[in-house]
Structure formats: structure tokens, C-alpha cells
Structure 1
Amino acid sequence: MLAAVWKVTSVNSFRMGWQGIPVYLALAAILGRIATCKVVLYEATLVVINPLRTHTIPRSALTRADVDDHGTLELHLHRDDKPIPAFAFGGSLVDRIKGTSEKAAHTITAWLNTPHASTADLPAQTHWTRSLYADAALALCAVTSVAGVLWMALSGRS
């Protein structure tokens, strides 16, 4: 992407080339959010970090982990009929070859079946996922876009 911005800038001047910078930053934000997806097991909780939402689930709230027909790891809670999908184990081509979603489901099931301290009083929590680099790239995308539009408008040419 940076090479494309450089090429457009060298051929058509910076007036045209700068427009690729916000596109690059938006792409970096999207890919950064996808790259930070994961499932983390702690002693008393399981944390599912998806691109936009993070779910913190205590052991006592989780009934089972399984894989749907598309290969996505799903976590089922006592209180909910709707499962929580784990984007990190989304049934990709690599997963179909290596079986990572199935392995994750087995690991979580084993974790659920091990003796542990009670977490009955802990509620499941959901909040917005924070991703420092992805959020910074998105903020820079917005700043660059606004600055570029203002610069183009004030310079009198489009």
C-alpha cells in the first residue's frame, strides 16, 4: 500500500498520493483488530477477544464449548440460548487442515472439568475490545482524511 501511495505521488504529485494514506490506515486498523483475536484461559475465567467485543466468562457461567457446522468455535452459557462465537477460531482453511477449533474446544472442555474454586458469584461481562495499534491507526485515518479534505478545499483545487 505504501508503495502504491509512493507511486501515485511520484506520478501525479502529493495532491493525489496522500489519498492512499487513509486507505492504508483503515486497512491497518481492520487487520490489526483481526490479528488481536484470541481465546485466553485463566484460573477462574475464559476471555474471548473478538474484533469488536470482548467477553469475560467465569467457569460457572460456561456450559460447554463446541464447533459449529462451519468450523467456528462456540461457547455456550447457562443463561443464554445464543452461543458466543470465537473469531480467532473461525473455521478457516488452516483450521480445516489442522483442526485448531476442535483442539480449542477439547482444551476448554478439559479446563471446565478440572477442579476449581467456585466462581458462581462472578457475572459474565461484555465490553468493547480495545486494540491500541488498530485504534491508533483508525484515529490517524480520520485525522489524515479531515486534514487532507481541508487542505484540498483551502488550496482551491480538487
Structure 2
Amino acid sequence: MRVFAGVALGVMWTIFGAAVPVFLERNNVGDVWFLATCASAVTALTARIAGCSLVLREDGISIRNPIFTYRIPRHCVACPSFDEKGGLMIAVVGDKELEVFAYAGSVVDRLWRTSEKVGHEIEQWLAGGTQSSSARQEGGEVRRSFRWSVPADLALAASAVSGVAALITS
């Protein structure tokens, strides 16, 4: 996914670079800023989506979704499950399920059954080890935090700045 996103963004920014001289030749500075706004926003969105992942660690699972990261201690993970679209969910203690955006039931997922494969890996991970009692006492609950993404956040800031420039120059 990250390779595809990088290639797609490279193509988009190459086209943008080729379009800038054409717009400037016609004295359409506002349009250049508008295109920069759109391209930066697409870059921010793509960077957030491409950065999604699920990481199995010895002490728990980390789910990196577009906006939030969830850290789930091993003893809080009940089992993997699937939504009606085939997307991977992690059932945690307390009748709560967390969606794993990286395996959300996309067309690619339906072709290669990646959610099912990861679900089986999680089941094996759950069956394969236990957490020490001291680790259980240290981290007892699911933690959610904002996921900072430097490339996405810089692109979003560039989109805001170029949007203001587009308004001023139009």
C-alpha cells in the first residue's frame, strides 16, 4: 500500500509540476494555488491512510488508524472478528470492538483475503503466549492516543496555507 501511495503521489506531483508553467503563462496564479491546495490535501489524506497498520508485540497489539493509535494489552484482547464487509475488528474485554483500518475489507482485501490471514495470525499470537503477572498489573486497559504523522500533518498545513493564498490571489 505504501509503495502504491508513493507512486501515485509522485505521479500527481509530477503532473502538478508540469501544469504550473502552463497556468503561470496564462497569468492564472490563483489556479496554481488552488491546485497546490488540492494536491496537498490529497497528499495529507493519502499519507494518513498509507500509514495505517497493526503490530503484534509481545505485550499487546498496536492499531494505527488514520487519526488514532490504540494500544491494547495482551490480556485485554478477546479475539479477532470481522464486520459485515469482511473488515478486521479486534474484540477487547468489556464488549468493545476496535476497527483495524488497515484491514477494513477493501477490494484488495477481498481478492487476497488479507483480513482473514491476519485474523488467523492474531489467534495464533493469542494462543502462543502469556503475559507475566507484573505486565498485567502495569498496563490494564486499552489506551487511545492521537496519531501524529509528520508527512500528513505538514501536507495539511501546506494545504491550509496554499488555500489562503488561493483566496488572496483569486
TM-score (norm 2): 0.81
Deviation for aligned residue 1:10: 3.6
Deviation for aligned residue 1:97: 1.4
Query: What's the counterpart of residue 39 of structure 1?
Result: 54
* 2:94 corresponds to 1:83: no
CA contact (8 A) 1:47 1:56 kept: yes
Query: What's the counterpart of residue 155 of structure 1?
Result: none
Q: Which amino acid aligns with 2:101?
A: F
In 1, the alpha carbon distance for the partners of 2:148 and 2:56 equals: 19
- SS at the partner of 1:19? helix
TM-score (norm 1): 0.87
Deviation for aligned residue 1:117: 2.5
Percent pairwise identity: 33
Q: Which amino acid aligns with 1:42?
A: R
Q: Which amino acid aligns with 1:129?
A: R
Q: Give me the CA root mean square deviation.
A: 1.7
* 2:111 corresponds to 1:93: no
Consecutive unaligned residues of structure 2, counting only runs of 5 or more, are: 1-11
Match of 2:32 among 17, 27, 35: 17
In 2, the alpha carbon distance for the partners of 1:9 and 1:67 equals: 51
CA contact (8 A) 1:9 1:15 kept: no
Range 4-13 or range 100-109, more displaced = 4-13
CA contact (8 A) 1:66 1:75 kept: yes
Identify if the C-alpha distance between structure 1 residues 16 and 147 changes in structure 2 by more than 3 Å, giving closer, same or farther.
closer
Match of 2:136 among 117, 120, 127: 120
CA contact (8 A) 2:109 2:115 kept: yes
* 2:149 corresponds to 1:134: no
CA contact (8 A) 2:51 2:66 kept: yes
In 1, the alpha carbon distance for the partners of 2:30 and 2:131 equals: 62
Identify if the C-alpha distance between structure 1 residues 146 and 62 changes in structure 2 by more than 3 Å, giving closer, same or farther.
same
Deviation for aligned residue 1:45: 1.3
Query: What's the counterpart of residue 102 of structure 1?
Result: 116
